[in-house]
Amino acid sequence: MPRMTTTSLTGSRNTKTFRARTTCRLAVFATVTLAAFGTAARAQSVNVPTQVALSVSSNGAPVGTVASGAQVTLTATATTSGNPLTFGVIQFCDTTGPSCPEGQSLGTIDIPATGAATVTYIPPVGSHHYVAYLLSNSSANQTVSSTSPLTVSPPTVNVPASDFSLGMFPGTTSTQTLPAGTEETTFNFVVTPVGGTTIPPITVTTSGLEQSVIATLTPQTMASGSAAVSVQMALNWGNVVAMERRERFKKDIAPIALSFLLLPFAGLLRKSRSRFARLACVLFLSVAGLGAISGVTGCATANSPSFHNATITATSGSVSHSMTVSYWNGF
């Protein structure tokens, strides 16, 4: 009887071995195939094009220029194939280069579920160039937004108003007496800025004074920058004093001048035998003497005791203010 059992067993063993080997080969093939597909999937996810859009706004509106002290918001939105990313890290930077140098980063923000990463701050004065980076493990796959420029203008300087007021210093009067002689009287004014914090450059002048009166202004010019400035106008009879000295000199020299004037005619009077000639000579000498005396004995001033006005004017550019005061001339 043939040995079928042995053959059958052997065949059974071979069948099992074949099946095992086939299964192993299929498993290996499947593993390799899945691994290959998985690698391709990962490579596809990395190589999918991504974009980062960056915008700059202030108070909810897009801006390219803001004033100093304004708060701005940078918003970065990353998309893949048109769909927003809801994961990853965005780095904001103020730079003009391809990378973000140290010290120019404005911060790294995780992309929230909304897909928009934002950072809000107050930029300093000057020009800024904002860029947003979508960070990855490989710098080669790093996605960069286009540059969004922003200019921050310097703060507005409040220039003091050019207007000012001119008035009497508190507690003083605008009417005084100018005594005769060398004494003087003073009027005190105050210049105060109007609408600003400091006065502009100012020049002070006087007008309307009598011919013999001298006015001294202290100060006569004022530089800008003061809150208020007091001005003093001193009046005196400086010209009158000088004229009085000249008058006293003329009075003292008048008799001497008259004697020299009459001396040539003294001999003529003695020699003249005609009464008419002597009378004519006397008349001539009298007229000459009166003319000489009137020429050296004139009054120092024709002013009469009364009130007179004096005007002080403060001027800054095209703006000027005046004030009139009165003085009694003291004669």
Six-digit token string for 200: 């502009």
Sign of CA dihedral 169, 174, 177, 181: positive
Identify whether the C-beta of residue 92 lies closer than 8 Å to the C-beta of residue 48: no
Distance, in Å, from the CA atom of 288 to the CA atom of 268, rounded to the nearest integer, reads: 16
Does residue 30 fall inside a structural domain? no
In a shared domain, residues 184 and 316: yes
Distance CA 281, CA 300 (A): 33
My answer on whether 184 and 234 are in the same domain is yes
* Residues 85 and 183 placed together within one structural domain of the fold: no
- Which of 153, 186, 203 is the last residue before a domain boundary? 153
Domain-located, residue 187: yes
* CA pair distance 331, 326, nearest whole angstrom: 15
Residues 146 and 192 in one domain: no
Q: Kindly state whether residues 119 and 171 are assigned to the same domain.
A: no
Two tokens, residue 65: 């220029």
Query: Which of 105, 121, 153 marks a domain boundary?
Result: 153
Q: Which pLDDT value is given to residue 328?
A: 84
Kindly tell me the sign of the dihedral angle through the C-alpha atoms of 81, 84, 88, 93: positive
Peptide bond into 219 cis (omega under 30): yes
Q: Is residue 33 part of a domain?
A: no
Asked if the structure places residue 233 within a domain, the reply is yes
Based on the domain organization, do 143 and 179 belong to the same domain?
Answer: no
User: 153, 176, 201 — which closes off a domain?
Assistant: 153
pLDDT tens sequence for the chain (331 residues)? 434 333 333 344 444 444 444 343 433 333 333 333 333 333 333 455 789 999 999 999 999 999 999 999 999 999 988 888 888 899 999 988 778 888 899 989 999 988 899 999 999 999 999 999 998 755 545 789 999 999 999 987 665 557 899 999 999 989 888 887 778 899 999 999 887 677 888 999 999 988 888 999 999 998 888 788 999 999 998 755 545 555 555 555 555 555 555 555 555 555 555 565 556 555 555 655 555 555 444 444 445 678 888 999 999 888 899 999 998 876 6
Same domain, residue pair 114 and 127: yes
Distance, CA of 163 to CA of 318 (rounded, Å): 10
Residue 174 sits in the same domain as residue 261: yes
The pLDDT, as a whole number, for residue 248 is 54
Q: Are residues 242 and 310 in the same domain?
A: yes
Residue 19 lies in a domain: no
What is the distance between the alpha carbons of residues 63 and 83, in angstroms, rounded to a whole number? 26
- Tokens describing residue 39: 């690698």
Report the number of distinct structural domains present in the chain.
Answer: 2
Contact (CB, 8 A) for 95 and 106: no
The per-residue pLDDT for 270 is 56
Confidence (pLDDT) at 291: 55
Domain-located, residue 67: yes
Q: CATH number of the domain at 136, please.
A: 2.60.40.10
In the chain, % helix, strand, coil (3-state, to 5) comes to: 30, 35, 35
Instruction: Tell whether 308 and 179 lie within a shared domain.
Output: yes
- 34 within domain boundaries: no
CA angle 206, 209, 215 (to 5 degrees): 55
Radius of gyration of the chain (CA): 55
Q: In this structure, are 243 and 294 located in the same domain? A: yes
Report yes or no on 257 lying in a domain.
yes
Q: For the chain, where are the E strands, in sequence order?
A: 50-58, 61-62, 65-67, 72-80, 83-84, 89-94, 105-110, 116-121, 126-135, 143-144, 148-153, 164-168, 175-177, 184-193, 202-207, 214-218, 221-222, 229-236, 307-316, 319-328
Predicted local distance difference test score (pLDDT) of residue 318: 86
Domain span holding position 269: 158-331
Burial bucket for residue 241 (CB in 10 Å: 0-12, 13-18, 19+): middle
317: left (phi over 0), alpha (psi -120 to 50) or beta: left
132 and 280 fall within a common domain: no
Dump the DSSP string for 178-192: --SSS-EEEEEEEEE
